[in-house]
């Protein structure tokens, strides 16, 4: 039995625990299909750091019915694509194909999830690939500084773990670790699948049944418990590196989680502060002062918390002045909120971003899956626009006071000279 939301998303909770969502988008000629495993970096122990990401890589090394080469060609030869990624709270496998190739996409993704080989010989090779990936990130300071900021902000909590893991943890992981994770988490009761595009819900259920998804036993229905999180505010940490020419800075702290009713007020404020060329940060730090090429505000919401802040990169001789200018903007927002003119402009910008972000079939698929992963209703576009329109200056001011005060933020810098 399936239910349909006012937003046009159908949902079926299968007897084996599999959660199935779809949105039919007439006029499209493609379908996006994905599966989300309810296991990510926050579910790992410190010693296991990188395990979810390693398993995501390993399933592509071959399955009971397909070699690694077969997997690579299975959808690309049809003009489609196959991808996967590991997040802090989930691991996702996604395909994009012509509508007539949905069965092949469902079959291939099911093969990856339910029938990986996980051979020791393949682990030796793929471990080296991931060590190279870690090395590539280490050579990219604007990636590294975010990992360092997470560690400073979250301490020993799993939100501080690196998604790729470290050289030490990845080198210590074994096929037994992979098998245990796969056996306990890659099961129907721990999965959400979603599709969007030229597909009806009945068609999706039919192809899932033909590929064997609905006949598999449920498996465990629960995963590791994520411990309560307490951020470490006001930390100031510098990591010296003489081999790079800029100082990379992240100044940030905790933020609203996914389901927080203040999410639109937070998004609006983040947009005004550092969401584009018209933002205060860009106009002041880059356009007026010329202290940075890259400067912006970021926000990563999670189930239990969130993280946000300002990133900038500047030459050693101007980095402190760039940071001071960013702090002035944050302090002004925290103390005074935003003007009515800014508020209305921010609403227009946020509303436009929300609508345009839902134009693709992949975005619609992700929206459907997210509703189940975070136990949220699927809102229509009109409902989203109404929520944005309802944001008022006092809501924005309250968010600014609580989250944007730079004196409470954690500061991490990376480069040849420290900032304070």
Per-residue pLDDT tens digits for 94-115: 999 999 999 999 999 999 999 9
pLDDT (average), residues 62-78: 97
Asked whether the predicted pLDDT for residue 1 surpasses 60, the reply is no
Residue 279: the pLDDT is 97
What would you measure as the largest C-alpha separation in the chain, in angstroms? 64
pLDDT (average), residues 361-380: 96
DSSP bridge pairs for 194: 21, 34
Phi-psi domain of 151 (left: phi exceeds 0; alpha: psi -120 through 50; beta: other) = alpha
Q: Is 56 a catalytic residue?
A: yes
Q: How far apart are CA 89 and CA 37, in angstroms?
A: 9
Residue 5: the pLDDT is 79
Asked whether the predicted pLDDT for residue 3 surpasses 80, the reply is no
CB contact at 8 A, 250 and 412:
yes
Closest CA relative to residue 123, chosen from 162, 71, 160, 177: 177
pLDDT above 90 coverage of the chain, percent: 98
Closest CA relative to residue 255, chosen from 187, 209, 308, 192: 308
Residue 6: the pLDDT is 75
Structure confidence by residue, pLDDT tens digits, 179-212: 999 999 999 999 999 999 999 999 999 999 999 9
Residue reference for tokens 């990130």: 137
Can you state the angle between helices 381-389 and 340-357, rounded to 10 degrees? 170
Q: How far apart are CA 407 and CA 420, in angstroms?
A: 11
Q: How far apart are CA 309 and CA 404, in angstroms?
A: 8
pLDDT (average), residues 388-404: 97
Q: How far apart are CA 261 and CA 306, in angstroms?
A: 13
SS3 169: helix
| DSSP-assigned letter for residue 234 | T
pLDDT (average), residues 248-265: 97
Asked whether the predicted pLDDT for residue 224 surpasses 80, the reply is yes
Q: How far apart are CA 220 and CA 114, in angstroms?
A: 14
User: In angstroms, how far is CA 337 from the centroid of its own chain?
Assistant: 28
DSSP bridge pairs for 132: none
Q: Catalytic residue among 23, 44, 47, 56, which? A: 56
Q: How far apart are CA 404 and CA 275, in angstroms?
A: 15
pLDDT (average), residues 47-76: 97
DSSP bridge pairs for 237: 412
Phi, psi of 169 (to 5 degrees): -70, -40
Q: How far apart are CA 102 and CA 84, in angstroms?
A: 17
What dihedral do alpha carbons 367, 369, 373, 375 form, nearest 10°? 60
pLDDT (average), residues 228-242: 95
Q: In the structure, what pLDDT confidence band is assigned to residue 2 with cuts at 50, 70 and 90?
A: low
Residue reference for tokens 């203040």: 262
DSSP bridge pairs for 253: 308
CB contact at 8 A, 216 and 114:
yes
């Amino acid at each position: 039995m399936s239910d349909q939301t006012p937003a046009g998303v159908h949902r079926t909770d299968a007897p084996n625990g599999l959660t199935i969502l779809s949105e039919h988008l007439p006029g499209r000629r493609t379908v996006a299909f994905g599966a989300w495993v309810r296991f990510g970096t926050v579910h790992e122990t410190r010693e296991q750091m990188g395990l979810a990401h390693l398993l995501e890589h390993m399933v592509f090394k071959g399955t009971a019915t397909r070699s690694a080469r077969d997997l690579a060609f299975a959808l690309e030869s049809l003009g489609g694509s196959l991808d996967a990624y590991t997040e802090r709270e989930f691991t996702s496998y996604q395909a994009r194909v012509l509508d007539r190739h949905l069965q092949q996409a469902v079959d291939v993704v099911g093969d990856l999830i339910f029938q990986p080989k996980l051979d020791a010989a393949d682990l030796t090779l793929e471990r080296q690939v991931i060590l190279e990936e870690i090395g590539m990130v280490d050579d990219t300071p604007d990636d590294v500084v975010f990992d360092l900021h997470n560690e400073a902000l979250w301490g020993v909590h799993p939100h501080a773990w690196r998604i790729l893991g470290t050289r030490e943890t990845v080198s210590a992981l074994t096929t037994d670790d992979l098998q245990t994770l796969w056996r306990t988490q890659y099961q129907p009761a721990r999965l959400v699948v979603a599709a969007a595009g030229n597909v009806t819900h009945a068609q999706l259920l039919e192809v899932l049944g033909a590929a064997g998804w609905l006949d598999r036993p449920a498996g465990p229905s629960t995963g590791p418990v994520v411990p309560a999180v307490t951020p470490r505010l006001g930390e100031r940490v510098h990591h010296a590196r003489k081999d790079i020419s800029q100082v990379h800075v992240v100044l940030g702290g905790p933020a609203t989680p996914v389901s927080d009713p203040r999410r639109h007020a937070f998004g609006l404020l983040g947009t005004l502060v550092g969401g584009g060329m018209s933002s205060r940060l860009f106009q002041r730090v880059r356009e007026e002062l010329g202290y940075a090429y890259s400067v912006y505000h970021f926000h990563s919401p999670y189930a239990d918390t969130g993280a946000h802040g300002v990133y900038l990169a500047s030459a050693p001789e101007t980095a402190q002045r760039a940071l001071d200018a960013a702090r002035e903007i944050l302090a002004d927002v925290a103390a005074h909120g935003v003007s009515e003119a800014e508020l209305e402009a921010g609403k227009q910008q946020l509303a436009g971003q929300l609508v345009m972000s839902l134009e693709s079939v992949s975005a619609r698929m992700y929206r459907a899956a997210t509703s189940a992963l975070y136990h949220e209703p699927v809102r229509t576009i009109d409902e989203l626009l109404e929520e944005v329109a309802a944001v008022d200056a006092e809501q924005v001011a309250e968010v600014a006071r609580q989250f944007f005060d730079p004196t409470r933020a954690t500061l991490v810098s990376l480069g040849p000279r420290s900032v304070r």
